[in-house]
C-alpha cells in the first residue's frame, strides 16, 4: 500500500479546476498515463478513448477559462461500464452476442454526464450480460483484476468500474446493480458505490439483467464523490418506464451535517447467525457501529427475516427475469454465449410461474419488514461481503449455492444503499459495509457514509500497482 497515488478525488479536482489550479488536460493526461502503464495487467478497460479524451479535455479547459464552468464534473475523467448505449461505439456487455451492436443514441446517464462536462476515458469491462458471481475467461474480453491483488476477484458485475476507480485510471465510473453489481465490486475494490432508490436514476439505454430491480449509479473513491456524481445522474426520465418523478435533493449540501442523533439499525444477524462470516469481517462492521455511536448516533441491533429467505427470493426472481430478457438469443444464438452466463440464465427457464409469483409475494412481505424497521430508524447498516475476495480463477459454476447474496435484500426492497470501506483483512484486502436508507433519501445515506469515512480515516490507503 502507498500513501499517495497522485490522483485527486472528484471533489478535490473540481475545486482545483474551478479555481484554475488544475488543468483538465493535465488531469486526463495523468489518468491516461496510469492506464498505459498499468491496465495491460489490470484489464479494467477494453477500449480507451485516448485521443477523444484529450480533445474533450482541451475543450473543457477552454470553456472553463472562458467562464463557462458547468459544475463539479466539468473536466473530470469518468469510465463507462460497457452496458450503456454510447453512440458511435459498440455496446457489448462483454458478450459475443452483442459484439457488433451499436446503439443509435446515448443512454440517459451518458447524456447527463456529457452535459455536465465529464471526460469519457473509455469502456470498462464487465461480467457477461452483468450476471455476477465470479469472473470468467470465456467472454468477449478478459476479466478485470483487483488492483489490491491481481490474483483476486474484483467482484461483479461492475468489475472494470471497481478496478478502474481503485487503480486511479479515472475519478469515477458508471455501474449498474441488479443483485450487488455496484456494491460488491465497490466492497471488493475498497471504493464507494451507490445503488440509489429504484427509479431515481434513469436506466434508459442500460442493457438490463432484471426488469424489476436493475439500477444505475456512481462508483467513486469517496462518498462525497458519489454525491457529486449522483447529483448529475439523478432525475426523472420519461423514456424509462421505471423512472419516478420525485424531486432530487441537494446531496452535497447535506454531507457535513454529521450523524448526531440519527437512529441506526444494525442488521448483524445476516453475517453472524445466518452466515458465519470470518471474524475480521465481523470485527470491522462492529467497529463501524461503534464509530457511529461515538459520533453521536444511536445504534441498536434489529432483526429481519434470515438472510437465506432474501437470498432464495432473489435466486428465483433474478434468473427468471434474466432468462425472459435473453430468451430469444438463448434459443437462436446459444453458442455465442459464454458457458457461465448461459448456464446461469438457463436456470431461469426452470422457474415456474407459480414459483415466480410466490417469490414476488414473499418479496412484498420482506419489503414490509424493512419499511417497518425504517419507521423507527433513519439508517440501517450491515456488511457488504461475507467472505474475502475469492481467487480470480475460482471455478465454482454457481458460487451463490455456497454463499448467500448479502446485497440482494436491498435490490428486492428497492432502497438506496451506499457501500463504504470499513476495514481490511490481514493480507491488506479491503472490507466493505452497506449503509441503507429510506426510499428517496439518498441524502441521509450519503451524509452518514461521508461522516463515517472522515472519522474512520480508512481511505488514506491505496493499492500499490508497482
Which residue in 23, 95, 153, 157 is the catalytic one? Answer: 157
Identify the residue whose cell numbers are 437512529. Answer: 263
23 is a catalytic site residue: no
Cα distance between residue 225 and residue 213, in whole Å: 24
95 is a catalytic site residue: no
87 is a catalytic site residue: no
Cα distance between residue 424 and residue 155, in whole Å: 16
Cα distance between residue 92 and residue 100, in whole Å: 7
Which residue in 23, 81, 161, 289 is the catalytic one? Answer: 81
Distance between first and last Cα of the chain: 10
Cα distance between residue 146 and residue 185, in whole Å: 9
Report whether 301 contacts 273 (CB < 8 A): no
Which residue in 161, 181, 186, 223 is the catalytic one? Answer: 181
- Catalytic residues, by residue number, are 81, 157, 181
Amino acid at each position: 500500500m502507498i500513501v499517495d497515488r497522485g490522483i485527486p478525488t472528484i471533489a478535490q479536482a473540481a475545486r482545483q479546476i474551478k479555481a484554475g489550479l488544475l488543468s483538465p488536460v493535465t488531469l486526463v493526461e495523468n489518468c491516461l498515463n496510469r492506464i498505459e502503464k498499468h491496465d495491460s495487467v489490470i484489464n479494467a478497460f477494453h477500449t480507451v478513448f485516448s485521443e477523444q479524451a484529450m480533445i474533450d479535455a482541451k475543450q473543457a479547459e477552454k470553456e472553463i477559462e472562458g467562464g463557462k464552468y458547468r459544475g463539479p464534473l466539468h473536466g473530470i475523467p469518468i469510465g463507462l461500464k460497457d452496458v450503456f448505449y454510447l453512440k458511435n461505439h459498440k455496446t457489448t456487455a462483454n458478450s459475443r452476442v452483442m459484439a457488433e451492436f451499436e446503439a443509435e443514441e446515448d443512454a440517459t446517464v451518458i447524456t447527463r454526464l456529457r452535459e455536465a462536462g465529464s471526460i469519457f476515458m473509455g469502456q470498462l469491462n464487465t461480467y457477461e450480460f452483468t450476471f455476477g458471481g465470479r469472473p470468467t475467461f470465456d467472454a468477449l474480453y478478459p476479466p478485470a483484476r483487483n488492483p489490491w491483488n491481481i490474483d483476486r476477484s474484483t467482484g461483479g458485475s461492475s468489475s472494470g468500474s471497481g478496478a478502474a476507480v481503485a487503480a486511479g485510471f479515472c475519478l469515477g465510473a458508471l455501474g449498474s446493480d441488479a443483485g450487488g453489481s455496484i456494491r460488491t465490486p465497490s466492497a471488493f475494490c475498497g471504493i464507494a458505490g451507490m445503488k440509489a432508490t429504484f427509479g431515481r436514476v434513469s436506466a434508459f439505454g442500460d442493457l438490463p439483467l432484471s426488469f424489476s430491480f436493475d439500477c444505475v449509479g456512481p462508483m467513486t473513491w469517496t462518498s462525497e464523490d458519489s454525491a457529486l456524481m449522483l447529483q448529475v445522474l439523478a432525475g426523472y426520465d420519461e423514456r424509462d418506464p421505471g423512472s419516478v418523478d420525485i424531486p432530487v435533493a441537494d446531496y452535497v449540501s447535506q454531507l457535513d451535517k454529521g450523524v448526531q442523533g440519527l437512529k441506526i439499525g444494525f442488521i448483524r444477524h445476516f453475517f453472524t447467525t445466518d452466515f458465519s462470516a470470518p471474524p475480521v469481517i465481523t470485527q470491522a462492521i462492529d467497529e463501524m457501529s461503534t464509530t457511529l455511536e461515538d459520533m453521536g448516533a444511536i445504534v441498536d441491533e434489529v432483526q429481519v427475516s434470515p438472510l437465506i429467505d432474501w437470498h432464495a427470493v432473489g435466486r428465483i426472481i433474478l434468473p427468471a427475469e434474466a432468462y425472459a430478457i435473453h430468451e430469444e438469443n438463448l434459443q437462436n444464438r446459444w453458442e455465442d454465449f459464454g458457458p457461465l452466463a448461459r448456464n446461469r440464465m438457463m436456470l431461469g427457464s426452470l422457474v415456474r410461474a407459480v414459483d415466480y409469483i410466490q417469490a414476488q409475494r414473499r418479496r412484498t412481505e420482506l419489503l414490509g419488514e424493512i419499511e417497518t424497521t425504517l419507521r423507527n430508524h433513519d439508517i440501517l447498516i450491515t456488511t457488504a461481503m461475507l467472505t474475502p475476495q475469492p481467487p480470480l480463477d475460482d471455478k465454482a459454476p454457481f458460487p451463490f449455492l455456497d454463499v448467500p447474496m448479502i446485497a440482494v435484500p436491498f435490490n428486492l426492497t428497492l432502497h438506496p444503499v451506499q457501500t463504504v470501506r470499513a476495514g481490511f483483512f490481514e493480507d491488506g484486502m479491503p472490507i466493505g459495509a452497506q449503509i441503507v436508507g429510506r426510499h428517496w433519501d439518498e441524502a441521509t445515506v450519503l451524509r452518514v457514509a461521508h461522516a463515517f469515512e472522515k472519522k474512520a480515516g480508512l481511505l488514506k490507503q491505496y493499492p500499490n500497482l508497482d
